[in-house]
Every structure is written in structure tokens, then in C-alpha cells.
């Protein structure tokens, strides 16, 4: 049925519920971002989900952010996405991870009030103009033959025209974004019990995979897993080490940054315990009953979120593993046992808890389980997240092989923006990997593909010192503003922030203190900073590890009127720098040398990125290329030489061949150039 001959007969044969600019299938973290971005950009959008009550559900640990994921959330926010703003209202615990390490890996992470996060997202979506929400299972993608494009011999041969629900109702649109997460043909596995189900006991989506296969879209199958949920009253938390909230909670959204009114909803602790030798013995004694090792689970899981039994098998020398007991909301007793992800049979799960301090006799509210699901091979997409072989079809989220709410939301935002730009015949927004983690994420998935659920990590970004969590607004606000995704107020707030930061950097560079002055000497010594003679700019002083921007404002305890930097308060123009702005000033100075090196490396990187490959470039005659490179390049059609070089199977030698061929082609086309 999905191949449609003509719309006229379709409308005669079927109930057509409505015609839209854009259809988004799936209201998870990807679908919500995609739908809101598209509606904000003026597209008449309808968003489908299997059940509205699980919109933006968090089937795993209800935390947002974490290493590299925190950077993604701040980038989504700077680009006009909504995850950061919603999260800021549902914080129940905050931690800045890697705070003992450098600025390049600082990552905000916050525990969410899970059910309230969903409710708040739903009520927000219900207020968005141009956006309809609908509860229905989409079982088919409807498509027609696309007109042949002589100018683009490699163009898509099919085009999307709409979707059909399992109730046989048709919804028409020229663009469709699929963001079906972990629901396609999903099955939940606990021991040897296998049930066709979505996560959290929700229904699976059992039809759409066939429709994708009919469209000859390559599918894969992955698995992921989650631990049991425990009832707080049954835990011996007082025996365990507490991990408090950070002294200062920090919002994700730049709208709330340095705001005097923003407050976290709560600042709860979590608790730390450890698995024991007994835990290890129990799981290894029962390893043949693990579906991972009994063959029940056939697909690949996330390397960086392994189940406990997997950890024992893969890291036999590790005697114990930490377990964080995390709250999941203010009005629930449900505790998330982070580190105990498992799909072992329930009797083993129960006995396992008895082997861990603080969990003896723990009451389980939900069992740990594994889930297998269908997904797309992301190498069938281009950097705009369009499916290359089907005009108007886009894909985002876990369906593209990633793992994580943040990774999904980032893709959803980009797919939403680009579906609307495609409808308007405009060039897609491609975020380079040198500009944002969002760019690293999409480029890695689309160019390299993935053989396991892809989790973002700071090590994946070549320029992570430039892609910090504190400066996502500097890297993305202008794009968001020009797209119309952030308000004038927000844009002016961003401009004012960096104006103040730049003004202050100039002032610190030009303001000098004389180290021979007793007051200056006294203060520097009180800061444990040696003073040689002569005068120093504040910029030079701030390069010293023992000196912070804060400490420059130190007052001489003996003579309170004497401060090292008397002009600070007036100098910043409109107002004193907020904590985030002061942080940015300090980073710019203390990391100036490293940033300069990274910018030089970036320049070399951009050399290859700027070498565009024409859309009609024919690789088949380039016999100097390896056969694998010819096949991969023809299939994936990279946009530029940099991306071509990242496609697995394309060697540096192939890139050189391509460079020569592109130069020759340019000479042919522009003999005088």
C-alpha cells in the first residue's frame, strides 16, 4: 500500500484526516525538539506518539546532562531548543562533573523530577502555535515515485507524501521526520522471558519497520538496558555515603544564566554503595541464565553503559563496582539504582540486591531489563539528517543509532530545522564538528556509522577546548537568531554578555598594578603569589594558577579600602560581571595559549572542510580510488573533502586522489580560474 500512484485516488480510497507541512512520528526527546523547532519556524506540524501520557519519557536514569551530554544540552538551548528550559524547572539534584579537571571537560548534570518533566514538556507543547499533538501508532510511510532530476543523477527516486496510522487513517505532508526511539519491533528481555513491548511497559510499534524496509532503508538492531527501580523505604540509606548536591546549582539554559530569580526545584543528595564479591559470585554463577550469554539477546548494546553481568565478564579484575542510588522525583519513593543495569532472571536480580550494602531486602518496583529494537543505519542519511533515498524523509534520535536523551534532542532539533528549510527550498543547516558537539554527533553517525548505541563523549570532539559548556551561546546564538529560533530579547542578552566579557578582557589587559607597592605585594602574598618587581597587567596576573578572577577583587584585610582592582565594579559598563561571565573571562585568559593552538589546528581542519564536492560528482570513473572508497563515496555522497575522509573505508590516499580530481574538474569548469 505505501507506494501511492496519485494523491487523488488515495483521498478517494482512504480517510484523510488532515494535510500538514510536516509530520513528526514520535514524541520522545528527538520528536519534541523537532516538532517545536518546525512549528516555531512556521510549519504546520503534527506530532504523533503511541501514548501522550509518556511524551518525553525517560525510560532510563532521569538525569539530563553528564560528560559531553551537558555540553549538548547547552548547545540545544543556545540553538533555540527547549530541553534546557524544561530541565531547569525540574532539577532535583545538580552536579558539575569533572570539576577537578580542565574547562574542556566540565559537564553539567542534573537529576530530573521524571514525571513532572514529562508533564511540563507536554503542557508546553500544547501551547505551541502551528503544532498539533496526536496519539496514534503510525504503521506506514506513504510515498510516490519522485521525478527524475537530470541535473542530479544521484537524486532520490522516491518522495514521501504522508503516513498512515494502524487505524487506517491517512495524514498528508511533504515532509516527515521519524523519531521512533527504542519502540520499533522492540522486545523486552528479562532472563529467558521475551515480550514484544516498548520500554516501561509501553506498547511496541510493530509495523513501521516493514514500511522502512519497503522503502529499502537499511535497518539494524541494537539493544540497551536499565536497572531495577527500588522503593526508598526498603533501603538502608543511613548506612551509606551521601553525595550532596553541588554547593551552587547551575541552570542549563542561558536564559536562566546568572539570573537572580532562577532556583533549582530541589537539591537532593544521592547515595553511594558498592557491589561485593558475593554480587560477583552470584552473577557469574548464573551467567548462563543471562540472556546476553544464553543467546536470547542477539544485538549489540552500549559499550559505555554495560550491564553489571557484562562488566564482570569483560573486566574480571574489577572486584567491585560503584552503585549510585538516585532520586527520581519529589513525590515518588522510586530510587534509580545506577550501575545495576541487568537483564538477569528476576530471582537473580532479587538475590543480587541482598549482596549489596544498603540494599538488603530491597523492594523492587520495576525489574531491570534489556530491550532490543530496530533502527536505521545512519549512513543512509546526509548531514541534514535527510534520508538520501527518499525526498522529504528525515530521521532523528535513537532511531539513528545514538543513545541518550541529549543526543536524541540534538538530532531532533537539527532535523526539525532542516525539514522546514527543505520544504522552503533553502540550504540545510549543517553544524560543523568544529563548532559544536551537535556537529560531532551527526557527522560521526552519518559519515562513520555505528555498530553499537552511540553515546557522546568529550574525547570524540577534536576541538573540545573550543566546544566548552560555558560558550555554546557564543558558538550558536547567531545561527539561532538568523533562523528565527531565539527571540530578540535573548539575542540582545547574549550580545550584551559577550560585550561585557570583551570589555573586561580589554580592561584586564590594559590595567596594570605595581608589584612594588606594599598593598599590592601584601595582597599577592596573601594569595600565595610570588611577586617580582615591576608592574603587571591583571591579564598577566590571572594567568597565574593561584590567582582567580575572584581573588583579584581581594580586599587587603588590614586596609579594607585597599583593593587590588578598585575599578572592577564600574569598569564592566552596564553591570558587574555575573558568575558565568567571570568564569568565561578567567577561561579566556588561563587557557589563552591552548585556545590559540586549538584555533591553529582548526584552521588546518577547515582547509579540507571547505573543499566542497559537487552534488553530481561521479566517483564510478575514478579508478585510482580503492573499490571500497568508490562504493562508499557513491553511496554516502559526502558534502566536502573533510567529510569524505571520515567515511570508514576511505583512506588518506583516496582523499588525495579526490583532491586532484576536484582540482581537475574545477580547471575544466573554470579554465580561467
Ligand X SMILES: Cc1cc2nc3c(=O)[nH]c(=O)nc-3n(C[C@H](O)[C@H](O)[C@H](O)COP(=O)(O)OP(=O)(O)OC[C@H]3O[C@@H](n4cnc5c(N)ncnc54)[C@H](O)[C@@H]3O)c2cc1C
| Strand residues in 470-564 grouped as ranges (E) | 512-514, 535-537
Intra-chain end-to-end CA distance of the chain, in Å: 52
CB of 170 to ligand X, least distance (A): 14
Establish if 376 lies at the interface with ligand X (CB under 6 A). no
Establish if 640 lies at the interface with ligand X (CB under 6 A). no
Establish if 362 lies at the interface with ligand X (CB under 6 A). no
Select the span of 15-23, 145-153, 403-411, 496-504 touching ligand X (CB under 6 A): 403-411
Establish if 429 lies at the interface with ligand X (CB under 6 A). no
> What φ, ψ does residue 418 adopt, rounded to 5°?
-75, -30
Establish if 25 lies at the interface with ligand X (CB under 6 A). yes
Establish if 408 lies at the interface with ligand X (CB under 6 A). yes
CB of 352 to ligand X, least distance (A): 18
Encoded one letter per residue, x for contact with ligand X by CB under 6 A and - for no contact, window 185-224 reads --------------x-----x--x---------------x
Select the span of 44-52, 189-197, 585-593, 634-642 touching ligand X (CB under 6 A): 44-52
Establish if 183 lies at the interface with ligand X (CB under 6 A). yes
CB of 230 to ligand X, least distance (A): 16
Cα-based torsion angle of the residue sequence 113, 117, 120, 125 in order, rounded to the nearest 10 degrees: 180
CB of 302 to ligand X, least distance (A): 6
CB of 465 to ligand X, least distance (A): 24
Residue 668 DSSP label: H
Encoded one letter per residue, x for contact with ligand X by CB under 6 A and - for no contact, window 440-459 reads ---------------x----
What is the number of helices (H) and of strands (E) in the chain? 22, 23
For ligand X, the closer CB: 89 or 398: 398
Establish if 171 lies at the interface with ligand X (CB under 6 A). no
Place of cell 515532509: 175
- Answer yes or no: are the C-beta atoms of 167 and 50 closer than 8 Å: no
- Answer yes or no: are the C-beta atoms of 402 and 451 closer than 8 Å: no
Q: Which of 2, 59, 264, 301 binds ligand X (CB under 6 A)?
A: 59
Question: What Å distances lie between residue 157 and 174, 293, 389, 394, CA to CA?
Answer: 15, 43, 6, 15
CB of 501 to ligand X, least distance (A): 33
Establish if 27 lies at the interface with ligand X (CB under 6 A). yes
Cα-based torsion angle of the residue sequence 379, 381, 382, 386 in order, rounded to the nearest 10 degrees: 180
**Would you call 244 helix, strand, or coil by DSSP?**
coil
Encoded one letter per residue, x for contact with ligand X by CB under 6 A and - for no contact, window 581-600 reads --------------------
Q: Which of 371, 417, 465, 658 binds ligand X (CB under 6 A)?
A: 371
Establish if 385 lies at the interface with ligand X (CB under 6 A). no
Establish if 180 lies at the interface with ligand X (CB under 6 A). yes
Q: How far apart are CA 563 and CA 557, in angstroms?
A: 9
Number of shown-chain residues binding ligand X (CB under 6 A) = 36
Q: How far apart are CA 571 and CA 573, in angstroms?
A: 5
CB of 1 to ligand X, least distance (A): 16
Q: What residues between 290 and 329 interact with ligand X by CB under 6 A?
A: 305
The Cα angle at residue 340 between residues 334 and 342, in degrees rounded to 5: 105
Residue 466 CB contacts under 8 Å (≥ 6 apart), including other chains: 434, 475, 595, 598, 599, 602
**HEC sequence for 114-156:** HHHHHHHHHHHHCCCCCEEEEECCEEEEEEEECCCCCCCCCCC
CB of 187 to ligand X, least distance (A): 12
Q: Kindly provide the b/e burial profile for residues 201-240, where b requires at least 16 CB atoms within 10 angstroms of the residue's own CB.
A: ebebbbbbbbbbeebebebbbbbbbbbbbbebebbebeeb
Establish if 71 lies at the interface with ligand X (CB under 6 A). no
Select the span of 181-189, 236-244, 351-359, 499-507 touching ligand X (CB under 6 A): 181-189
Q: How far apart are CA 342 and CA 331, in angstroms?
A: 26
Q: What residues between 136 and 165 interact with ligand X by CB under 6 A?
A: 137-138
Q: Which of 35, 37, 41, 50 binds ligand X (CB under 6 A)?
A: 50
Q: How far apart are CA 499 and CA 514, in angstroms?
A: 28
Residues that bind ligand X (CB under 6 A): 25-31, 48-50, 57, 59-60, 137-138, 179-183, 199, 205, 208, 224-226, 305, 371, 397-399, 403-405, 408, 455
Amino acid at each position: 500500500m505505501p507506494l501511492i500512484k496519485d494523491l487523488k485516488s488515495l483521498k478517494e480510497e482512504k480517510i484523510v484526516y488532515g494535510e500538514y507541512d510536516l509530520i513528526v512520528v514520535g514524541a520522545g526527546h528527538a520528536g519534541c525538539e523537532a516538532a517545536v523547532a518546525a512549528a516555531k519556524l512556521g510549519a504546520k506540524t503534527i506530532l504523533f506518539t503511541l501514548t501522550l501520557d509518556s511524551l518525553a519519557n525517560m525510560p532510563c536514569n532521569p538525569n539530563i546532562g553528564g560528560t559531553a551530554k551537558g555540553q549538548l544540552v547547552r548547545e540545544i538551548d543556545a540553538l533555540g531548543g527547549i530541553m534546557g528550559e524544561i530541565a531547569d524547572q525540574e532539577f532535583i539534584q545538580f552536579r558539575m562533573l569533572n570539576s577537578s579537571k580542565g574547562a574542556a571537560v566540565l559537564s553539567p548534570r542534573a537529576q530530573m523530577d521524571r514525571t513532572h518533566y514529562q508533564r511540563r514538556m507536554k503542557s508546553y507543547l500544547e501551547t505551541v502555535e502551528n503544532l498539533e499533538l496526536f496519539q496514534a501508532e503510525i504503521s506506514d510511510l506513504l510515498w510516490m515515485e519522485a521525478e527524475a532530476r537530470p541535473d542530479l543523477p544521484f537524486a532520490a527516486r522516491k518522495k514521501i507524501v504522508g503516513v498512515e496510522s494502524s487505524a487506517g487513517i491517512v495524514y498528508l505532508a511533504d515532509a516527515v521526520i521519524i523519531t521512533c526511539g527504542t519502540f520499533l519491533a522492540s522486545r523486552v528481555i528479562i532472563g529467558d522471558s521475551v515480550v514484544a513491548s516498548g520500554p516501561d511497559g509501553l506498547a511496541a510499534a510493530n509495523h513501521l519497520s516493514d514500511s522502512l524496509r519497503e522503502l529499502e532503508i537499511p535497518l539494524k538492531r541494537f539493544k540497551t538496558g536499565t536497572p531495577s527501580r527500588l522503593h526508598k523505604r526498603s533501603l538502608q540509606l543511613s548506612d551509606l555515603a551521601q553525595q550532596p548536591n553541588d554547593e551552587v546549582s547551575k541552570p542549563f539554559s542561558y536564559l536562566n544564566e546568572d539570573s537572580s530569580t532562577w532556583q533549582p526545584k530541589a537539591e537532593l543528595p544521592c547515595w553511594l554503595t558498592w557491589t561485593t564479591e558475593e554480587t560477583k559470585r552470584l552473577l557469574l554463577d548464573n551467567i548462563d541464565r543471562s540472556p546476553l550469554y544464553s543467546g536470547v539477546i542477539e544485538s549489540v548494546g552500549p559499550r559505555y553503559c554495560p550491564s553489571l553481568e557484562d562488566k564482570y565478564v569483560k573486566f574480571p579484575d574489577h572486584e567491585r563496582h560503584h552503585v549510585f542510588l538516585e532520586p527520581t522525583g519529589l513525590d515518588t519513593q522510586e530510587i534509580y539504582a545506577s550501575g545495576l543495569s541487568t537483564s538477569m532472571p528476576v530471582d537473580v536480580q532479587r538475590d543480587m540486591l541482598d549482596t549489596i550494602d544498603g540494599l538488603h531486602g530491597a523492594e523492587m518496583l520495576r525489574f531491570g531489563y534489556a530491550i532490543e529494537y530496530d533502527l536505521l543505519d545512519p549512513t543512509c542519511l546526509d548531514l541534514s539528517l535527510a534520508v538520501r533515498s527518499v525526498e522529504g524523509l528525515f530521521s532523528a534520535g535513537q532511531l539513528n543509532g545514538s543513545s541518550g536523551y541529549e543526543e536524541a534532542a540534538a538530532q531532533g532539533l537539527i532535523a526539525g530545522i532542516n525539514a522546514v528549510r527543505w520544504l522552503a527550498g533553502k540550504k540545510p543547516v549543517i553544524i560543523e564538528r568544529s563548532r559544536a558537539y551537535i556537529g560531532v554527533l551527526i557527522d560521526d553517525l552519518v559519515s562513520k556509522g555505528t555498530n553499537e548505541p552511540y553515546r557522546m563523549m568529550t574525547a570524540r570532539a577534536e576541538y573540545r577546548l573550543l566546544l566548552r559548556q560555558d560558550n555554546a551561546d557564543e558558538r550558536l546564538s547567531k545561527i539561532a537568531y538568523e533562523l528565527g529560533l531565539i527571540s530578540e530579547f535573548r539575542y540582545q542578552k547574549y550580545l550584551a554578555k559577550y560585550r561585557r566579557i570583551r570589555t573586561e578582557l580589554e580592561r584586564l589587559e590594559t590595567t596594570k598594578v605595581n608589584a612594588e607597592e606594599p598593598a599590592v605585594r601584601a595582597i599577592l602574598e596573601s594569595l600565595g603569589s610570588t611577586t617580582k618587581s615591576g608592574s603587571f597587567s591583571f591579564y598577566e596576573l590571572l594567568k597565574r594558577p593561584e590567582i582567580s578572577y575572584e581573588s583579584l577583587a581581594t580586599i587587603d584585610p588590614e586596609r579594607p579600602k585597599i583593593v587590588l582592582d578598585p575599578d572592577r565594579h564600574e569598569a564592566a559598563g552596564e553591570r558587574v560581571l555575573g558568575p558565568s561571565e567571570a568564569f568565561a573571562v578567567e577561561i579566556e585568559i588561563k587557557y589563552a595559549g591552548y585556545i590559540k593552538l586549538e584555533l591553529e589546528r582548526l584552521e588546518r581542519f577547515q582547509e579540507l572542510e571547505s573543499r566542497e564536492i559537487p552534488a553530481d560528482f561521479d566517483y564510478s570513473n575514478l579508478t585510482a580510488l580503492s573499490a571500497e572508497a568508490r562504493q562508499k563515496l557513491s553511496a554516502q555522497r559526502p558534502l566536502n573533502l573533510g567529510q569524505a575522509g571520515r567515511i570508514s573505508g576511505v583512506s588518506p590516499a583516496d582523499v588525495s586522489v579526490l583532491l586532484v580530481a576536484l582540482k581537475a574538474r574545477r580547471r575544466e569548469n573554470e579554465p580561467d580560474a
